[in-house]
Amino acid sequence: MATSQVETVSTGADKAKLFAVVALVVMSVAAFYLLAKQGSVVQWGALLVGLAVAVVVFLISEPGRQFLAFARDAWREVKKVVWPTRKESLQMTAYVFAFVVVMALFLWFTDKTLEWVFYDLILGWRK
């Protein structure tokens, strides 16, 4: 039996930080709409500054640090990937297109054959 591990925010400080993040995001969006008469520069400035502060608060919390560690590990793994060359990509794309054309022709031929067998031979319906 496989057990799944659920990570939760355990400390009160982390819970407060995450609550602050949510509050900052909500206040940033509200400020964006409330400052509509001040001009778009003020609107967007309030939104972007509020979201930036929310990101900083998130990143200094434990879930934020875990997210950064995960992102670093993921980036390290992406750098290990051996990407196909342009020639290999074009060859594989050509193979896929050729397969699609062959399958389309096969299905068309099968459809027309079954149409001929059922309508012309068995039922005797002529078009």
**pLDDT tens digit sequence for 26-80:** 999 999 999 999 999 999 999 999 999 999 999 999 999 999 999 999 999 999 9
Q: 11 vs 101, which has greater pLDDT?
A: 101
Whether the model clears a pTM of 0.85, i.e. scores above it, the answer is: no
Ramachandran region, residue 17 (left: φ > 0; alpha: ψ -120 to 50; beta: rest): alpha
Q: What is the DSSP letter of 83?
A: P
Are residues 77 and 93 both part of a single domain?
A: no
7 CB-side CA count, 13 A: 6
Are residues 53 and 96 both part of a single domain?
A: no
CA distance linking residue 27 with residue 105, whole number of Å: 59
Is residue 6 domain-resident?
A: no
Task: Categorize the per-residue pLDDT at 123 as very low, low, confident or very high, splitting at 50, 70 and 90.
Answer: confident
Are residues 69 and 104 both part of a single domain?
A: no
Domain that holds residue 63: 11-81
Are residues 75 and 95 both part of a single domain?
A: no
